Amino acid sequence: MGKDIYIGVDLGGTKIMASPLRLGRNLKILGKAKNPTRSKSGYKTVVKDIILTIKQSIENAKINSRHIKAVGIGAPGAVDVKRNIILKAPNLGWENIKINKLIEKELNIPVYLDNDVNLGVLGEQQYGAARNSKDVVGVFWGTGIGGGLVLNGKIYHGYIFTAGEIGHMVISSDGKLCNCGNRGCLESYAGKWAISRDWFEYHNKTDKKPGKYALLKSKMIKKTFADNDPFMTELINNACNMIGITLASVVNLLNPQTIVLGGGMIESMNEELTPLIISAMNQHIFKSAKVEIKTAELGDFSVLTGAGVYARQRTN
């Protein structure tokens, strides 16, 4: 057992990262490899590149591949974890793609897939900010707002694997149009794309099509907010308020021990944003409820760490 190694892979829209991991009391990342995701060349090219990245990471770690028990892969989209099928990955242009068999054939070890956000939360739950909690909700605030649930130490997928979509919880019944096609989702107010939309609309520089706005840079948002720009202050306060209200519903529904906040917005403005979110949340949670809010710790390694943990859970 002590020598068992699991490989975690983060298949992103722009890059593939892989690391062999030793998953003891502490996490040991034994090696690293990274390659671009050439999604335009078709899924078979991407599969070849995943295999290449895994092999490079094994070489980089200088380990005996006999000790590798399984591979876990985090994919950017909905995954049928029972049949190992990527149902829909808009960033890659994939629908109903099965990649594990091709990789298993080449490497001769089992390969398991799951959604990248779910795995990021699992990574944080096992080795990151929430390592002392069994019940964890993860919220990743970036361009959109991703979420994942780890309940009793396991990812909660739901009936057809769509659980955890915190960004699409409804906060206004006939609210703004969301990228998902519905109205009034949290993301359509607080996602960075929505903040950018409002900013450009306010400054009259937009074609007003949802999802077609230029994205503001995190640095620009941070600076404008720090300079007390009145409109940016309003946008940020409103976004934090909406996230806090949504988290209050999450706490009232699930009573998790820990909520982990991560993603580009939090990485850039944790000190400014987290207190605003907590204060909005506290106004709406049950008076008897209690929850810890933590900042994600694993950064770029959260997904591949969770992928390794997931591969181990599926193997044992």
Which residues of the chain form contacts with Zn ion (CB under 5 A)?
168, 178, 180, 182, 185
Cβ-contact 67, 4 below 8 angstroms: yes
Least separation in angstroms between CB 160 and Zn ion: 17
Q: What gap in Å lies between CA 70 and CA 65, rounded to an integer?
A: 11
CB of 115 to Zn ion, least distance (A): 16
Q: What tokens were used for 104?
A: 């298993």
CB closer to Zn ion out of 151 and 180: 180
Minimum distance between the CB of residue 171 and Zn ion, rounded to whole angstroms?
Answer: 11
In the chain, how many H helices and how many E strands? Answer: 9, 14
**DSSP states of 124-152 as a string?**
HHHHSTTTT-SSEEEEEESSSEEEEEEET
- 178 or 232, CB closer to Zn ion? 178
In the complex, the smallest distance separating the C-beta of residue 180 from Zn ion, rounded to whole angstroms, is 3
d(CA 231, CA 199): 8
Cβ distance 179 to 193 under 8 Å?
A: yes
Alpha helices in 84-217 (DSSP H): 100-107, 116-127, 187-190, 192-202
Please list, in sequence order, all residues whose beta carbon lies within 8 angstroms of the beta carbon of residue 181, skipping any fewer than 6 positions away.
Answer: none
DSSP 300: G
Task: Output the smallest distance, CB 185 to Zn ion, in A.
Answer: 3
**Cα 217–chain centre separation:** 19
Give, rounded to a whole angstrom, the gap between the first and last alpha carbons of the chain: 11
Q: Which is nearer to Zn ion, 31 or 263 (CB)?
A: 263
Give the tokens for residue 303.
């997904």
**Structural tokens at position 193:** 């794309």
Residue 265 CB, nearest distance to Zn ion (Å)?
17
Rounded Cα–Cα distance for residues 236 and 140 (Å): 16
- Least Å distance between CB 167 and Zn ion? 7
CB-wise, 114 or 165, nearer to Zn ion? 165
168 vs 192, beta carbon nearer Zn ion: 168
CB nearer Zn ion, residue 180 or residue 215: 180
Nearer to Zn ion, 55 or 176 (CB): 176
The Cα–Cα gap between 135 and 23 comes to 20
CA–CA separation, 68 and 124 (whole Å) = 22
**Within 10 A of 42 (CB to CB), how many other CB atoms are there?**
11
Q: Residue 75 CB, nearest distance to Zn ion (Å)?
A: 20
Query: For residue 139, is it left (φ>0), alpha (ψ between -120 and 50) or beta?
Result: beta
Minimum separation from the CB atom of position 179 to Zn ion (A): 6
Token pair of 135 as six digits: 């019940």
Nearer to Zn ion, 45 or 162 (CB): 162
Of 178 and 247, nearer to Zn ion (C-beta) is 178
